[in-house]
Amino acid sequence: MPADPRAAVDLPGLRDVVDGPLHDIAGRFSRFLAETWPHCALVIFTKECTGRPRKVAGDAETTDKIAIAELEALKAAVHPGRATSTTAQLGGAARPVWAVHDPIGTLLVLIPRTARKPVPRPVPLAELFGIVATSIRQQVTQASPDYLTESRAASSERARTIVEMAATQERTLVTVLNALRSTKLDAEGARAAATDAASAALVALRSAHKTDLALSEEPVHTAFARLRREVRQVLRHHDAELEFVEPQPDTRPLCGELAPAARAMTCTAVLAFTAQPTLTRLRVAWSCDDSSLRLDIRDHESGRLDVDALHLQLDGRAKALGGSVEVDAVSGWGSRVSIVLPRSVARDSTDTTSLSKLNRRELEVLRHVAHGLRNKAIAERLGITESTVKFHVANVLKKLKTGSRGEAAVLALNAGVA
């Protein structure tokens, strides 16, 4: 960072922060801030990312203990748009923190290396975090294949961890309660106090479990209502008549990454339809069954939809979620887009979890490897040297724990990011 970040922001450094895989954005931002805002831990808390709402960097002993409920409480106490010095309950202890609550709802928490009160240069810190928060929102809203791959792996692991933790802790607390309620124990007063404490812990655990689930799921009708608003906003200057067909009543919510992905893919299709000069009517429908969410967008116009371009835009996103895309256009009859997305995350998330470790450049190189290109051809396409490509390929093989380019290509194809 320069001496005065308001006068001359390190733009290349800031670009590196926002231009990379979402799962590591906290680490990149932490390194960017380290000189001017020295800290031992950093947390970004955003409900935009249902798979990983907490993005952390720094001291793991501290960050691993910070609960979502604690971040919610801190967020409510910090005025939006400002960088604030305060003391907050984090990880079960009162800690001095520097916090920024961005107006779009994302929270930044820095635990300073020293207990000094004021935030150094609070205005630039809030402005810099505003750019990072906006970048996170855009990546989620656009639902790129890279983001969906990472989110799918995170959601799968997080859901499994939540269930296992809740089941284990609930069994433990029930056992404690049964023991404390035993008539064979003495000291009724102590037993009553312990019973109350254990009961409160059990209620808190169940409450935390529900909070985590609420962050990782979205009701179908809530997701469709948001879609309706987004599509109307996209077409606010277009005269086409819109018909929305809501999904049938369904008690099962959509998993975290599925709802924003479905909205993003639907809006992408709607924009492609509006490129037709004769569009007068557009039908947007969602439907659900036990296994899948189906998106159907169609018109009855000239059938001049750019099928290949739209399929290319949608296919990578659908494959990242294990889904499929069909785009048809018949001259004189009309066009239709049909997208099928599975409602459940596959149990085997090894491929997607491994791929989430790659940075953006490594993913670009892997895609070209999966298409059969050699190092020289990849270098020409990406505008880098052949030795740089070799370096990236070596990193890809190491991170994916594969012994050859062919194995890495298979992983990429199976995960839908190639």
Q: Are strands 83-90 and 93-101 parallel, antiparallel or unpaired?
A: antiparallel
In terms of C-beta density within 10 A (0-12 exposed, 13-18 middle, 19 or more buried), how is residue 352 classed? buried
Coil vs helix vs strand at 155: helix
Comparing CA positions, the residue from 268, 276, 193 lying closest to residue 238 is 276
Name the DSSP class of 338.
E
Q: Are strands 292-298 and 334-342 parallel, antiparallel or unpaired?
A: antiparallel
| For the chain, domain boundaries | 11-142, 146-216, 220-342, 358-415
Residue 3's pLDDT is: 45
Task: Tell me the average pLDDT across 317-338.
Answer: 86
Query: Who has greater pLDDT, 148 or 245?
Result: 245
Task: Tell me the average pLDDT across 140-148.
Answer: 66
CATH architecture, domain 358-415: Orthogonal Bundle (1.10)
- pLDDT higher than threshold 90 for residue 111: yes
In 137-280 the beta strands, taken as DSSP E runs, fall at 217-218, 241-245, 254-255
Q: How many other CB atoms are there within 10 angstroms of residue 280's CB atom?
A: 12
Residues 79, 83, 87: CA angle, nearest 5 degrees: 80
The answer to whether the beta carbons of residues 396 and 404 sit under 8 Å apart is: no
* pLDDT averaged over every residue in the chain: 79
Task: Tell me the average pLDDT across 52-67.
Answer: 85
- H helices then E strands: how many in the chain? 15, 12
The answer to whether the beta carbons of residues 402 and 408 sit under 8 Å apart is: yes
Coil vs helix vs strand at 265: helix
List, as one string, the DSSP characters of 22-85: GGGHHHHHHHHHTTTS-EEEEEEE-TT-SS-SEEEEE-HHHHTT--HHHHHHHHHHSPBT-EEE
Q: Which two tokens stand for residue 1?
A: 């960072």
Residues 354, 357, 360: CA angle, nearest 5 degrees: 120
- Topology annotation, domain 220-342: Heat Shock Protein 90 (3.30.565)
Coil vs helix vs strand at 295: strand
> Exposure pattern of 161-172 as b/e (b: 16+ CB <10 Å)?
eeeeebeebeee
> Exposure pattern of 293-303 as b/e (b: 16+ CB <10 Å)?
bbbbbbbebbb
- pLDDT higher than threshold 60 for residue 7: no
Task: Tell me the average pLDDT across 124-152.
Answer: 78
The answer to whether the beta carbons of residues 376 and 349 sit under 8 Å apart is: no
- Topology annotation, domain 11-142: Beta-Lactamase (3.30.450)
Lowest mean pLDDT among 98-102, 248-252, 389-393: 248-252
pLDDT in tens, 267-277: 889 988 888 87
